[in-house]
Structure 1
Amino acid sequence: MKKILCILIFLNTFFLAAQGLERVEPPFWWSGMKHNTLQLMLYGKDIARNTPEMEGVTIKNVRKTENPNYLFVTVNTEDVPEGKYVLRLKRGKKEVSRYTYEFRKREEGSALRKGFDSSDVMYLIMPDRFANGDPDNDSSPEMTEKADRSKQGGRHGGDIQGITDHIDYIRELGATTVWSTPLLEDNDPEYSYHTYAQSDVYRIDPRYGTNEDYRRLADELHKNDMKLVMDYVTNHWGAEHWMIKDLPTYDWIHQFSDVDTSLLPERSLKVGYANSNYRMETQYDPNASGIDRKYCVDGWFTSTMPDLNQSNPLVLNYLVQNAIWWIEYAGLDGFRVDTYSYNDKEAIAQWTKAIMDEYPYFNIVGEVWLHDQAQIAYWQKDSRIGALQDFNSNLPSVMDFTLHDAIGTVFNEDEATWNEGITKVYGNFVNDFLYPDVNNLLVFAENHDTQRLNHIYNKDLQKYKMAMAVVATVRGIPQLYYGSEIGMVGNKDKGDGDIRRDFPGGWKGDDNNAFTAAGRTAEQKEYFDFTSKLFRWRKDTPVIHKGKTKHYLPENNVYVYFRYNDKDTVMVVVNNSNEDQTLKTERLKESIGRFAKGKEVISGKNISLGEMTIAPKTVWIMELE
């Protein structure tokens, strides 16, 4: 009898353990948030058989799904003070599991945090390729892919500590804001270094560091009066995400019932996968067919990136809370949202609004990779174009891809025609009337998905200078891509890894350390000194941040524009031709007015505003006096 009793006790203990909580997300929260409800996602074997109770906190709703391993518990957080509260799971009267849930105190002024804006310069870093601050975390026993710097598409060991170690370098460059490509866990067996196929969205990938390391990076940037932007992914997760392996609901991701899964690549999930057609215009095209729109929005970005169904309220709420959790936990100053326009547009507008309601001075820039200003403008908050379809994205900032397109070709076009040469840059700003807020556009010459600027222009420093001068002086928020400021190249045609090369000096034993003035080659120094002087000047020049623009039709491949306010005027002259050009300043009188000369920002020379002759492939930036 005693033996039978022991067996029964063992079986009961085993059964109760099996009912335990494996995960609670968000893992903790804050008191005093504007949103006064919180949806807790509880996960564990057959957890739905239990009833949740929470001392001192009112449970408003308990949602079960077809998967018994999940419970979604909505609690009322209004007037819940900071402290620890016991969450119990009960089977009848018996407690089978408990979790101590913490509501933390918010940092003072958290809700009023100020996001990045047009006074900032954003520096884009691919963390795996920037600097290896902690070689001990290059590989992790928890993660499948190990470090192998010999592989172009492998993990090279760059990490959060590497960024933190080089904040002084970034500040010296004139940048005020760091945008790092994603840092959350990505357990893909290969190509995981880009981290867009995330496997746990509450955890920093251990090969980059820890959650605490990320928070420390934000703190160090803030000490230097700098900001941190997280690259956030709402459209998809990776196939290795733990929830994808045990879906809470069938429609947590988009699935296609008529797909032959035997045709999928080996690593693909054997579910109803269909690839996106990538035709984002179907989101607003009044003539689009339903099937085309479905395959844009519901189709997967790749077969290893399951497409999240934001129109499922459980998914949407999970993403909203996860985003707010990272803002509050890490002290973030902004988001860059990957593949923004591939999401269900109504749902992503709700996601964006929820975040901006909680943090009204925050900023979010969406990747809307389109090649027409009207189509890009559709996605910016309060767009009159979107309003024609009763749509408002609530998205404060979009990326100026049409300017990027122009910059990527124009400086190789030596002869001006009706639509080639520097006229392409002029033409981009003709359409500024389409945007609700031109100062909140992200302007850039390149990023981690495009050709390197110095590859396009074959390391022609003069063409680099013209491109950077335009990015630095037009309306909007300039974004730089790591390494270009020292002349780094890369050819996307050879693979994405080639445009994401290791920054020289970021690894112990590198032959060349471009992080220091003494370690730079003569060529690297020339690139860096120009870039640093340009963007440090911009940092202290408010007329560029918020001033108005007046520009003049290009003549002889020369473009002239002015940034001005009631106090200051800056004149920019870009000679894109292969010959000296003499400016006819008479037609510029409405902008030059009483000014007699200008001080050129980079050279420091004074230039008379009478007859001006500018050398070929040259840019002048002049503060008028």
Structure 2
Amino acid sequence: MKKILLLSSFLSTFAFAQIQKVEPMFWWKGMKNPEVQILVYGKDISKYNIELSDNVKIQNLQKTENPNYVFVTINTNEVNKSSFKINIKNKNKIVDSYTYELKDRQPNSANRSSFSSKDVVYLIMPDRFANGDESNDSKKELTDKANRSIPDGRHGGDLRGIINNLDYLQNLGATAVWLTPVNEDNEKQHSYHGYAQTDLYKIDGRYGSNEDYRELSQKLNQRGMYLIQDYVTNHWGISHWMIQDLPSKDWIHTFPEGENGFRRSNYRTTTQFDPNASEIDKIGALNGWFDTTMPDINQANPLVLKYITQNAIWWIEYAELGGLRVDTYPYNNKEGMATWVKAITDEYPNLNVVGEAWMHSPAHVSYWQKDSKIGEMVGYNSNLPAVMDFSLYANMTKAFQEEESWDKGLVKIYESFTNDFLYPDINNLLVFFENHDTERWNEIYKGDIKPYQLATTLIGTVRGIPQIYYGTEIGMAGDKNTGGDAAIRQDFLGGWKSDTQNAFNPNSRTATQKAFYDFTAKLFNWRKNKEVIHSGKTKHYMPQNNVYVYFRYNENESVMIILNANPEKQTFKLDRFAESLNGFTSGKDIISDKVLPINTNGEITIDGKSSMIIELMK
């Protein structure tokens, strides 16, 4: 009987104090901020004593209302060993422990380079790009299983599929790759998009492993390319292990009337800076949930803010990332996010971070860029280096379809650029005509290559960082209005062994696919070495007859860009552009490779619905 009681006591003690999770799992020596806050999670763990081995000092130990959590802060500068133990003690007895490692950083890690206006960003939804490892299409421990017959289901694309096609991306002229989120998303359905993450330190097993993710980043870096992580600060998936056992009630925003505390956001994020906004509308926008399976995270909670800050830094350091794109930026607590971004860029001064501020007014978008004059007027600085140019996007979707009038046609593009004075860093805007949330450009124009060439010419030659969406460069379309999000996120042709056609292979492309791809590759490979495009000045001229002319120039070069949105050929005199053409006698159109006479006494002819990019010569 005595032996049974002793065994029962031992098993009870061991099970009671078991460490279930430690996050971050390890850290690094030599960070600019030497402090790291370690989350230790286990059943009733806060009721036990926490001690560190090797005389490592606990700077701060914080408990929450949930006894399953303890947050331990240490100063890594005070730790002289490469590892130490986190010991859980019941009285004087160690009942469980975790070996915590402090790794050495990669050489020059703090000064890692990042994507900029020199780059072309290629946006991939990994589940829909290429299936490089069929063995991970479904995972026993993950609910949503692969089934390509379900438009909104998992289709099996993965990190290995992207790694296998890096030649394709590089040949296209892409120099940075933005993946929609690839951390674990274990929601029951629609998990393929990744925006309802359930584990922030683990790559979804259906995409591969943490090591696969790092391998992708390293192989991109070896090619002089960057991996951009899509980071979600505003919401997690409702199945996230921490949401299922909240550290504290204020970890997320909840509302008493809704199931699981749900209330949908009113999406009016202009309340963030509107001086006339009511508090109820502000709360409705910022604290409301993005969707029923996406609880709204409270960045005003210091523990939450520290958790997501360290998580972002952990991925940058571990995976050698080349930048971040932050989802739904204005839906977050803006003071918390200013602190979040500053902590990251303090650690990595060269790292670029671009925020998604889906607003159509340039004043509203520019508010979110670091050192914005608009923000300064109301006493706010976001510290966010880059923003997405949704104003230009909104105008582009209309401008190429309209006949010219006072406020229609290419004048919309012209007027968009008249607001450039609002942005403190005009070259650090992401410019695009579609992404994973918008209607496919080739659907809008029914597969007509000419509007695609016009739009690609525009984003490839204006200030900022051009971004293209996977598959559009081979003519992929999809009607969001009838097929929903799945229609704009179809599988890339040739990404699966069973596909009847492989558009990754130039010998297998149709004539239409070849025309789309070749135009894109020619433009973006030309752009790679054009400093005049990366950081030059702009001079533009009001559109006439729906023809828009602008120049990119610096002390050494000048490039003339012509966009003709008319169906008909246009011929016009060049004397109007004398201030930009004086001293030049000819130019080479990089699209047609033709050398043209260019002088202020002459004229030029451009085909209908076409563009010209003319390198001027003296």
TM-score (norm: length of structure 2): 0.98
1:374 to 350, 363, 372: 363
What is residue 172 of structure 1 aligned with on the other side? Answer: 171
The equivalent residue for 1:7 is 5
Shift of 1:614: 1.4
| Residue identity matched to 1:15 | T
**Structure 1 CA distance, aligned partners of 2:268 and 2:609?**
37
Q: Which moved more, 1:157-166 or 1:454-463?
A: 454-463
Aligned to 2:612: 620
3-state DSSP of counterpart to 1:95: strand
CA distance in 2, matches of 1:162, 1:131: 4
1:216 maps to what in 2?
215
1:4, distance to aligned residue in structure 2 (A): 2.6
Q: Per-residue displacement from partner, 1:105-162 (whole Å, max 9, x unpaired)? A: 0000000011100000000000000000000000000100100000000000000000
Listed one character per residue, the Cα deviations across residues 443-494 of structure 1 (whole Å, up to 9, x for unaligned) are 0010000000100111111111001000100000000100000000011111
Q: Give the distance between the partners of 1:383 and 1:411, measured in 2 at CA.
A: 30
Whole-angstrom distance in 2 between the partners of 1:58 and 1:177: 42
Query: Could you say which residue in structure 1 is the equivalent of 2:404?
Result: 416
- Structure 1 residues 366-515: aligned runs within 5 Å: 366-413=355-402, 415-493=403-481, 494-515=483-504
Shift of 1:55: 2.3
Q: Distance in 2 between matches of 1:100 and 1:6?
A: 32
**Which of 572, 580, 589 is equivalent to 2:561?**
572
Q: How much does 1:197 deviate?
A: 0.3
Of the three residues 345, 350, 353, the one matched with 1:361 is 350
Secondary structure of the 2:178 match is strand
- Partner of 1:314, secondary structure, is helix
CA-to-aligned-CA distance 1:167-189 (integer Å, 9 cap, x gap): 00000000000000000000011
Q: Which position in structure 2 is the counterpart of 1:22?
A: 20
Residue 358 of structure 1 aligns with an amino acid whose one-letter code is: E
Q: Any runs of at least 4 consecutive aligned residues in structure 1 with deviations exceeding 6 A, and if so which?
A: none
- Distance (Å, rounded) in 1 between the aligned partners of 2:91 and 2:517: 69
Match in the other structure for 1:145: 144
Alpha-carbon offset, residue 6 of structure 1: 2.6
Check whether the contact 1:31–1:81 (CA below 8 A) recurs between aligned residues.
no
Name 1:600's counterpart in structure 2.
589
Query: Is this contact kept in 2: 1:39–1:72, CA < 8 A?
Result: yes
Contact 1:82 1:105 in 2 (8 A): no
Aligned residue for 2:119?
A: 120
Alignment size in residue pairs: 612
What whole-Å deviation, never above 9, does each CA across 1:324-355 have from its counterpart, x for those lacking one? 00000000010000001100000011101100
1:73 — aligned with what? 72
Taking the aligned partners of 1:423 and 1:65, their CA distance within structure 2 comes to 57
CA distance in structure 2 between the partners assigned to 1:260 and 1:427 by the alignment? 44
> What is the DSSP-based 3-state SS (H/G/I as helix, E as strand, rest coil) of the residue aligned with 2:300?
coil
C-alpha distance 245-172 of structure 1, shift in aligned 2 (>3 A): same
Displacement of 1:53: 1.2
Q: Could you say which residue in structure 2 is the equivalent of 1:274?
A: 263
Residues 370-379 or 89-98, more deviating: 89-98
Asked if 1:329 is matched to 2:288, the reply is no
Residue 216 to residue 82, structure 1, CA distance change in 2 (3 Å): farther
Task: Report what 1:265 is aligned to.
Answer: none
The letter for the 1-side match of 2:114 is G
Q: Which runs of 5+ in 1 are unaligned?
A: 262-269
Q: Is the 8 A contact 1:126 1:194 kept in 2?
A: yes
Whole-angstrom distance in 2 between the partners of 1:375 and 1:116 = 24
Contact 2:143 2:188 in 1 (8 A): yes
**Paired position in structure 1 for 2:60:** 61
Q: Secondary structure at the match of 1:507?
A: coil
On the 8 A contact 1:599/1:607 being kept in 2, the answer is yes
User: Post-superposition shift, 1:410?
Assistant: 1.4
Structure 2 residue 603 is the aligned partner of structure 1 residue 611: yes
Percent identity, aligned pairs only, is 55
RMSD (Å), alpha carbons: 0.9
After superposition, the Cα gap between the structure-2 partners of 1:193 and 1:557, relative to the gap in structure 1 and judged at 3 Å, is: same
Number of the residue aligned with 2:252: 253
Aligned to 1:189: 188
Q: Which amino acid aligns with 1:301?
A: F
**Aligned-residue offset at 1:515:** 0.2
- Tell me if structure 1 keeps the 8 A contact 2:13–2:95: no
Corresponding residue of 1:346: 335
Q: Distance in 2 between matches of 1:526 and 1:343?
A: 42
Opposite residue 249 of structure 2, the aligned amino acid is: Y
Q: What is residue 45 of structure 1 aligned with on the other side?
A: 43
- Where 1:613 maps in the other structure, the secondary structure is strand
1:10 Cα offset (Å): 2.6
The more displaced of 11-20 and 510-519 is: 11-20
Q: Which runs of 5+ in 2 are unaligned?
A: none
Counterpart of 2:232, as a letter, is V
Whole-angstrom CA distance in 1 between matches of 2:347 and 2:57:
22
1:25 Cα deviation from its structure 2 partner: 0.3
Q: Which amino acid aligns with 1:619?
A: S
Q: TM-score, normalised by structure 1?
A: 0.97
Q: Distance in 1 between matches of 2:309 and 2:48?
A: 26
Cα offset, 1:82, TM superposition: 5.5
